[in-house]
Structure 1
Amino acid sequence: MNIQVLPDHKLSSVAPLKPCNVEKKEVQLILVKDQNGVQYTSSTIMPTPSTHGTPCTAEELEERETWGKKIDFLLSVIGFAVDLANVWRFPYLCYKNGGGAFLIPYILFLVIAGMPLFYMELALGQYNREGAATVWKICPVFKGVGYTVIIIALYVGFYYNVIIAWSLYYLFSSMTSELPWLHCDNAWNSPNCTDPKLLNGSFLGNGTSYAKYKMTPAAEFYERGVLHLHESRGIQDLGMPRWELVLCLVAVVFLLYFSLWKGVKSSGKVLLTHCA
């Protein structure tokens, strides 16, 4: 019987029987020829040290998704660190708490506390490839920290999505030949509405500024046209939901869902489109 071993470049790879941390096994194909001239092939598995392991469980075989591009991860981190509180409330808080002097303690605590905690959170997630709750398997004592992060994200998502719904309502309201918050001739305007162009800083007889008792069309559009605050008697009177704002909020929720339903693959494309 003649045995012909194929050259090294004839070696092939086949899928293993799902051992942990192993993707392929090398198999050497042997061409066997008996006395009758019949040829057939035989194979010899060439095991490696990593193949002698126990079969993986379903959880171990589950592959975590990864970012398609580095720019996707960078944009997601920027979106995670920079939100409405930074670009909207921070200038107000800075002005309210001393102006430029407020930046000194802010930058100090940003360097010694904010940035290290931010980096630690990203490093733990990247290294362990786990979520906010399951990443604390490395130290179960702090598992409550992960659940707290999830609760905070849920809480923040409630009012951030409402603000985005307001922005969407403004977008639809601006699709007219004339913006509705420029003049005082709308149905929601009150007698106190005054065109800013007509305010010349006049004063009343007792020295009180006349403009103090007037409201701009933009302010009344937000308070009376969007929120209808004039129909509420106080915080105890919530009133009925406005269907326009409800539809905008539902649209925002659907946009978020379809942006994340395929994980980081779809969210990365949405971030690129948003930044473009």
Structure 2
Amino acid sequence: MGPVLLPGLVPAYSPLDHVQKPLEHGNCLQYLSTDRNLTWSNTSTSPAEEFYMRQVLQVNLSPGLHQLGSVSWQLALCLLLIFTIVYFSIWKGVKTSGKVVWVTATFPYLVLLVLLVRGATLPGAWRGVVYYLKPDWGKLLSTTVWIDAAAQIFFSLGPGFGVLLAFASYNPFHNNCYKDALVTSSVNCLTSFLSGFVIFTVLGYMAEMRQVGVETVAKDAGPSLLFIIYAEAIANMPAATFFAIIFFLMIIMLGLDSTFAGLEGVVTAMLDEFPQMLSKRRELFVLGLVCVCYLGALSTLTYGGAFVVKLFEEYATGPAVITVVFLEVIAVSWFYGTTRFCSDVHLMLGFSPGLFWKVCWVAICPIFLLFIIVSFLAFPPEVKLFDYQYPPWTTVLGYCIGVSSFICVPAYMVYHMLSAKGTLKQRFLKGITPVPSGPHSDIIITNAI
């Protein structure tokens, strides 16, 4: 009958096992034992992990970044379907995507509430809740925690991506953006807090099943937490099929919602910059943009695509976005000026921001963001995924990828300094002096003066 193991366990493996032995079917064993004295060990591998790693990602077929392997046609077709849905959701503008967002934005909340109720009724759920709510104050001394926290809040709220600016440009001039900002930030933080309960009730349940600590189950974050740990927990629940369907529908909706916003930010910016050229060719431009994004994502669909995603995650996402926001804060609060900016707000809303916001814009935000950037440069992350240790050359590659996200900003500054007329001081002052533009610019500049 073959090996007899604890239900839920299979022999441990390394992502590089294929160097010694080729991938074979049947590595994920079924369990016939009823001996509950066997325990989960650190080298145990679940069927969910075997399926995700070897069948979905097929990461065992790639030794690392130096040899990614071919593109997985199954993943390529799935991504093609996703981008097709994205295209037909945004090709007509915000009127179309706005209707789609009513579904993609509200459905996850319903699923979260259902999963929260289900998770709270699982045995051992309280262990996960206690672990979630019990703070570890020593972590505050780690710069990695602050970088991860800043990256998370930027990704969830969207500053630095141009998404907020793009959607705000469709609002009326006197729209109460102050209230919108407070409501959006509050809802975002409360949603993240609620999601924590949904995740950790299930992690407590998994810890109870495996008879280990919650910290052992929760050691892997990101895709592994969603597609391995949570998927395995759902598979062991009653009515597993129903919960699995709604859970992965929620994940797809969240991904679509984020993609809508990100692409709409690019589309709106390009249409505003080149209205005569692109306004009547929006469908073709969106199609071209979607095709470029799809082709760019093919590297993440290779057998070693997980290594590429991890490299982007560490270097090209969080630190790059934080740097972009830092440049935006400096440009608005120091060069444009808080006085002029507050006059803009007063013209739109009828009141000016208080002293607290001014101090945040001028000092607190720039200092905090600069601290995170310097910490990241001084202590680059030691990237490791599964049993694969990233070689030193990937650090240089990661920095190059991250810098490419905002290189246009300093490049244009240099171009402006070289192309402008006058002395060096005159060119510099001209470069940091706001230029009126837009239907309300004259009123704004007059009020600021």
Q: Which has the higher helix share?
A: 2
TM-score by length of 1: 0.40
| Larger gyration radius, structure 1 or structure 2 | 1
Q: Return the TM-score normalized by structure 2.
A: 0.28
The answer to which structure has the higher strand fraction is 1
